[in-house]
């Protein structure tokens, strides 16, 4: 109680916090602009539409912001603000018991607007900045989410499963949290964070005087209830008021800090004991999971006792502010371990069924808390998490959710765009909400996917037999870009890990501990998330191993800055488990036995297990009598059994001592290849008295710091480091250059003193995914290389100005703020964070903007221009020269210092569009195989196709057109050749003479089809001319189309055959059959356009014309092909569904022939009672022209 009362006092820093009482016009307009217009509010009937309209007028907004602020400045209430409606809503669907209903209050919109402004814009930022908010409270805070809180719980459970230590959890929910909040305490904690006392009093007085009718499905009641004079004040806030969550976040933070101070909780320690994370639990608003361990005995009894103390203390603390546990919702779970057969296994409840947890409420009444099995889920935060890592409950929940959505969608009529919107906006976000922390198998994801695909694909007009990879593939490769459930799990899971590691806060701390603990458990000497190629089947399934397996499938890796991992100790040293995993024919169980023995003796590499001389392995390494004196924190490990030691000895001999493997048990085992000299820069965890050096000297063990990745090092020209070191002021400039045609980028930076001495420069290509290269990335790459050079050369104490001609880059780098999760999702956030991290080590480092390309605008001599301008011009010229001559590096770029973590997919560093790049890594390899097999395309031809232009063209299509175009590209249109597989007539409905194939759409002899084709070709030719495409390109392009479809060129003087020898035409014919009619173009068309590109002149009235580059003009070529197809397809369908359908005519003739056959042979073929059906006069049948349906009905 003493500590709680001390926490209510305001310290010196808190007394200086001031929040303005007066709401400005700009603040009022900003709040109303962000407000959703459809939100229900205002018992007086004034809707948010009025407030938003009022805020658009500056004078009215100024007047109303002043009028709204006056009550909070002088402590009185408006009569209109005292009206509030209690809405009774179902908390659980279909359950309408009065004590279970949820009450949401509707208040005046402007009253809510003031509270939002005061708390969201001022109180919460003050609380964050002052450190008053507990790191264990995740609700009501910017940048924190429920899924992040659940992720931290998952990390904690997985850590304790690896180290085999006891952990107990007590998820506790509060009774009517907001309804039991005490306004007096709320005011105290709000004032501690800068809110004025007049605002607190006005807010509390308004809530106390609320007059409340009740609203149900029957309407709003006429009678109201409120506090009367003499009533006992019960306190409580109104659920639905915008400050409730913030107030409880602040209040509970003080309680959580106090709880953390008084209880032991759980402690996560990494193997090196340098990272420690301790807490008593995690809370999301009113839901708190108290945690406890058993550090003394690691028994269930100690764990149950500690969790009971922790939960009881939390019950006491919340009662101080008027809260109480909802005991019927509370339960406890425990993971404790028992040795069995050389392993630790989780104890069942029957082993500690005598243990129970009892909690007293604020009145002293005890309640027994029910126990949940470790395989049963905790359903908090929208995710079903199990301590045992059981994913089955969460999978069944998501599968049932998918079936429920599928059932509703199946009976709903949707247009194509409506079905797509329902899928991407409503269905998938709901079903994949928990995917950032799930590890569903491919089979489980396939089950969810089938449920959704079987309903949505028909709604989108997609053939159910269409190859799924063509459906899931990106637009760039002609796919539909339909969401893949498997890819979404990868995108969300990898994205969550990357952003948390880059953020570098609480979850990053715990995640690093977990990864390093898993690293020690694996026994590998390379980072397990960086080197994902070796398979580790002996590791227990968990989130980290799932993440590693998915990275391996994507050919990806994550490089974590300053992560710990074991190193090799001497020459010819190897990881024990890495070597054993490569043995042919070894089983998973054998590897598990070997790993248990290795962990028991606490070694990682064979050098740590072998003798000091490195020539043999002593016999006591194989019987459990020897254990290394390791400084690392190892997982608890029981003594292995005799058969496990025998198997371990056999495997070690197979791997390292194969030549003389028949040594007797109890004798030393000679190694095939003796180990070499010891590495002086290796990290060691075993205490040796001495070790062997190259000269056979024995010296004492030395301690070395962590080994980190090297930073980027580019070749520097004209380095004058001595001159730079002797100067106080340095002027620097960096510029980047990018060519979208060749997809190359490079940068150049220069450093001089203020007296223009000591010129130092560097040029280098930008090494990243060419698809996502742009000038923005090139500018940042140059600035980062420059700042890194200044830092590594000891120039951090100089006055440095960095000039750049990209104003957006300069503005971003001058905003010195700690990035949030949302900031890290922006393009190039990794490199921006790296630059800012390094910039903080400088005494004075300024980023300034200089106007670029000034030499293009005037003829001022170069020497007369200012120094920054001259440097910028020189950097621009050098960057362009480097870009033209550079060759794409084959190795991946080195990770960036200060980024926290770097994701690689293949050899490409991912710095932007992470979700899209993960999708490409997952689907493009399969799509490439499908394209090569379907079109018999070679690797060389595939790489020469301009896929980027095809992707741009598809992005400009409407959804239904994009889907139809994908089906056209890969031959899945609903034409005759497809109908043949369904047992239907495959004849062309337009000409009736041939099987309807896709190429037949262009070669059909039907007059309407030919006329449409001729007209379309002439039209697209005119469009290409308007787009500024030169005749030397569009003439052979149109000519090749005419050659493929068998029509004459629109230009009668153009000879198709004489121009077919051109390079672009020949290249086009070599990539695949009929490629040009599908919109699949060779890159030579773009190269030709780039060579002949000229700026388009302005119009006659002087207006500038949009200048299309070569890539945009290539898109125009593709759009021209697809326009021809769309016209042909529309004409074909018009004939198919009209009276000119040759199939209908043929079908009617066949039916008339059958009718006449029945008429002429009615005595043989028909019963006497049916003769009247064929006795119509033949003239009626011919003259009246019976319809096909009437004829079919008679037959």
pLDDT in tens, 814-835: 887 778 888 888 888 889 999 9
pLDDT at 710 (0 to 100): 38
Who contacts 742 (Cβ-Cβ below 8 Å, separation ≥6)?
none
Cβ count near 695 (within 10 Å) = 6
Helix (H, G, I), strand (E, B) or coil at 782: helix
List, for residues 492-513, the tens digit of each pLDDT value: 999 999 999 999 888 999 999 9
pLDDT at 873: 92
Distances (CA, A) of 500 to 144, 493, 504, 506, 519: 11, 11, 6, 9, 19
Task: Please tell me what DSSP assigns to residue 280.
Answer: S
Alpha helix ranges (H) inside 356-441: 392-410, 416-421, 428-431
Q: How far apart are the first and last CA of the chain?
A: 95
pLDDT score, position 100: 77
| Residue that the structure tokens 């003493």 belong to | 2
Q: How far is CA 615 from CA 71, 505, 690, in A?
A: 87, 46, 16
733 phi and psi angles, rounded to 5 deg: -150, 145
Q: What is the pLDDT at residue 227?
A: 87
CA atoms within a 13 Å half-sphere pointing along the CA-CB vector of 226: 17
Please state, in angstroms and rounded to a whole number, the distance separating the CA atoms of residues 312 and 359: 6
Say if CB 394 and CB 383 are below 8 A apart. Answer: yes
Q: Is 481 left (phi over 0), alpha (psi -120 to 50) or beta?
A: left
pLDDT value of residue 1102: 72
Q: Enumerate residues 6+ apart whose C-beta is below 8 A from 1181.
A: 1152, 1155
Residues of the chain short of pLDDT 70, as ranges, are 1, 661, 688-715, 718-719, 1052-1061, 1140-1153, 1178-1195
Q: How many CA atoms lie within 13 A of 208 on its CB side?
A: 18
Per-residue H/E/C for 568-612:
CCECCCCEHHHHHCCCCCCCHHHHHHHHHHHHHHCCCEHHHHCCC
Question: So what's the pLDDT on residue 691?
Answer: 53
DSSP type of residue 686: B
Our CA dihedral for 72, 73, 78, 84, rounded to 10 degrees, sits at 0
| Cβ contacts of 1111 within 8 Å, gap of 6 or more | 740, 741, 948, 949, 952, 1086
| Percent helix, percent strand, percent coil in the chain, to nearest 5 | 50, 10, 40
Please state, in angstroms and as integers, the Cα–Cα distance from residue 515 to each residue in 501, 506, 508, following that order.
11, 14, 10
Q: How large is the angle between the packed helices 485-503 and 442-459, nearest 10 degrees? A: 120
Q: How many C-beta atoms lie closer than 10 Å to residue 311's C-beta?
A: 26
Tokens of 914: 């992470």
Give Cα separations from 178 to 240, 253, 285, 404 (angstroms): 9, 16, 10, 32
């Amino acid at each position: 109680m003493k500590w709680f009362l001390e926490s209510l006092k305001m310290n010196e820093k808190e007394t200086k916090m001031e929040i303005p009482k007066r709401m400005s016009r700009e603040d009022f307009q900003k709040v109303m602009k962000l407000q959703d217009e459809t939100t229900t509010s205002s018992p007086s009937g004034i809707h948010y539409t009025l407030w938003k309209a009022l805020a658009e007028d500056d004078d009215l907004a100024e007047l109303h912001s002043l009028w709204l602020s006056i009550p909070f400045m002088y402590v009185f209430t408006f009569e209109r603000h005292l009206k509030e409606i209690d809405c009774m809503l179902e908390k659980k669907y279909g359950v309408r018991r009065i004590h279970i209903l949820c009450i949401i209050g509707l208040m005046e919109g402007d009253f809510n607007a003031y509270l939002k402004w005061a708390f969201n814009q001022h109180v919460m930022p003050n609380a964050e900045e002052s450190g008053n908010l507990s790191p264990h409270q995740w609700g009501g805070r910017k940048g924190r989410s429920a899924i992040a809180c659940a992720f931290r719980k998952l990390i904690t459970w997985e850590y304790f499963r690896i180290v085999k230590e006891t952990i107990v959890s007590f998820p506790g929910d509060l009774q009517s949290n907001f309804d039991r909040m005490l306004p007096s305490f709320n005011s105290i904690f709000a004032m501690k964070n800068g809110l004025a006392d007049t605002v607190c009093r006005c807010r509390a007085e308004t809530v106390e005087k609320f007059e409340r009718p009740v609203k149900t499905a029957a309407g709003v009641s006429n009678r109201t209830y409120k506090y009367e004079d003499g009533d006992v004040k019960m306190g409580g806030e109104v659920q639905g008021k915008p400050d409730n969550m913030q107030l409880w976040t602040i209040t509970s933070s003080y309680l959580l800090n106090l709880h953390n101070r008084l209880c032991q909780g759980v402690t996560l320690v990494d193997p090196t004991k340098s990272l420690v994370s301790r807490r008593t639990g995690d809370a999301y608003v009113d839901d708190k999971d108290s945690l406890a361990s058993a550090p003394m005995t690691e028994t269930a009894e100690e764990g149950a006792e500690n969790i009971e103390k922790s939960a009881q203390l939390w019950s006491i603390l919340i009662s101080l502010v008027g809260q109480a546990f909802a005991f019927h919702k509370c339960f406890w779970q425990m993971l404790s371990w028992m040795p069995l057969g050389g392993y630790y296994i989780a104890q069942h409840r029957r082993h500690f069924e005598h243990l129970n947890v009892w909690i007293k409420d604020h009145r002293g009444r005890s309640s027994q808390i029910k126990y949940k099995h470790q395989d049963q889920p905790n359903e908090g935060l929208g995710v079903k998490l199990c301590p045992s890592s059981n994913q089955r409950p969460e999978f069944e929940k998501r599968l049932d959710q998918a079936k429920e959505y599928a059932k509703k969608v199946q009976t709903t009529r949707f247009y194509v765009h409506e079905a797509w919107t329902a899928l991407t906006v409503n269905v998938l976000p709901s079903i994949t909400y928990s995917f950032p922390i799930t590890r569903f198998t491919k089979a489980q994801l396939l089950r969810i996917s089938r449920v959704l695909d079987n309903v949505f694909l028909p709604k989108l007009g997609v053939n159910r037999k269409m190859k799924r990879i063509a459906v899931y593939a990106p637009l760039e490769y002609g796919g539909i870009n339909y969401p893949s459930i498997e890819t979404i799990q990868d995108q969300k899971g990898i994205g969550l890990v990357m952003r948390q590691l880059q953020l570098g806060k609480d979850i990053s701390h715990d995640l690093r501990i977990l990864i390093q603990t898993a690293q020690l458990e694996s026994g590998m000497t390379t980072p397990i998330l960086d080197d994902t190629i070796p398979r580790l089947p002996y590791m227990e399934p968990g989130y980290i191993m799932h993440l590693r397996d998915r990275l391996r499938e994507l050919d990806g890796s994550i490089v974590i800055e300053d992560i710990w991992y074991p190193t090799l100790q001497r020459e010819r040293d190897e990881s024990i488990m890495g070597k054993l995993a490569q043995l042919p024919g070894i089983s998973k169980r054998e590897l598990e036995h070997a790993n248990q023995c290795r962990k028991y003796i606490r070694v990682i590499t064979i050098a740590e297990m072998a003798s000091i001389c490195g020539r043999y392995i002593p016999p006591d390494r194989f019987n459990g009598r020897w254990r290394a004196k390791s400084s690392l924190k190892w997982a608890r490990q029981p003594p292995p059994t005799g058969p496990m030691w025998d198997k371990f000895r056999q495997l070690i001999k197979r791997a390292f001592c194969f030549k003389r493997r028949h040594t007797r048990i109890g004798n030393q085992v000679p190694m095939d290849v003796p180990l070499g000299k010891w590495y002086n820069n290796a990290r060691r965890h075993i205490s040796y008295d001495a070790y062997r050096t190259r000269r056979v000297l024995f010296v004492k063990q030395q301690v070395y710091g962590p080994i980190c990745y090297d930073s980027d090092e580019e070749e520097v020209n004209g380095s004058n480091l001595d001159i730079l070191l002797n100067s106080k002021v340095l002027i620097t400039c960096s510029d980047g250059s990018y060519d979208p045609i060749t997809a190359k980028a490079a940068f150049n930076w220069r450093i001089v003193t203020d007296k223009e001495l000591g010129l130092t420069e560097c040029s280098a290509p930008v090494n990243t995914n060419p698809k996502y290269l742009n000038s923005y990335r090139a500018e940042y790459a140059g600035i980062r290389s420059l700042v890194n050079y200044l830092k590594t050369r000891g120039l951090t104490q100089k006055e440095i100005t960095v000039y750049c001609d990209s104003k957006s880059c300069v503005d971003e780098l001058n905003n010195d703020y700690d990035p949030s999760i949302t900031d890290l999702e922006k393009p190039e956030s990794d490199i921006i964070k790296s630059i800012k991290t390094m910039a903080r080590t400088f005494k004075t480092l300024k980023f300034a903007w200089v106007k670029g390309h000034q030499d293009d605008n005037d003829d001022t001599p170069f020497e007369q221009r200012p120094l920054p301008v001259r440097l910028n011009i020189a950097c621009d010229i050098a960057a362009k020269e480097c870009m033209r001559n550079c060759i794409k590096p084959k190795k991946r770029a080195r990770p960036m210092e200060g980024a926290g973590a770097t994701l690689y997919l293949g050899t490409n560093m991912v710095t932007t569009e992470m979700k899209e790049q993960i999708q490409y890594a997952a689907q493009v390899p399969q799509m490439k195989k499908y394209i090569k097999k379907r079109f018999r395309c070679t690797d060389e031809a595939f790489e020469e196709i301009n896929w980027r232009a095809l992707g741009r063209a598809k992005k400009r299509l409407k959804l239904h057109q994009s889907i139809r175009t994908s089906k056209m590209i890969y031959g899945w249109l609903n034409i005759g050749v497809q109908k043949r597989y369904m047992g239907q007539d495959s004849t062309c409905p337009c000409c009736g003479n041939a099987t309807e194939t896709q190429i037949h759409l262009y070669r059909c002899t039907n007059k309407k089809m030919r006329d449409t084709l001729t007209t379309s070709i002439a039209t697209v030719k005119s469009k290409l001319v308007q787009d500024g495409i030169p005749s030397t390109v569009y003439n052979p392009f149109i000519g090749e189309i005419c050659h493929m479809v068998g029509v004459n060129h629109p230009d009668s003087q153009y000879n198709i055959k004489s121009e077919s020898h051109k390079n672009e035409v020949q290249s086009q014919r070599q990539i695949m059959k009929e490629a040009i009619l599908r919109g699949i173009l060779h890159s030579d068309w773009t190269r030709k356009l780039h060579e002949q590109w000229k700026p388009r002149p302005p119009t006659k009235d002087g207006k500038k014309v949009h200048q299309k580059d070569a890539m945009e003009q290539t898109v125009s070529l593709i759009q021209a092909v697809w326009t021809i197809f769309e016209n042909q397809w529309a004409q074909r369908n018009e004939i198919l569904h009209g009276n000119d359908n040759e199939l209908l005519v043929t079908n009617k003739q066949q039916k008339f022939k059958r009718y006449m056959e029945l008429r002429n042979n009615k005595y043989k073929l028909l019963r006497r009672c049916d003769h009247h059906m064929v006795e119509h006069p033949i003239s009626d049948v011919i003259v009246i022209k019976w319809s096909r349906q009437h004829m079919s009905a008679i037959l």
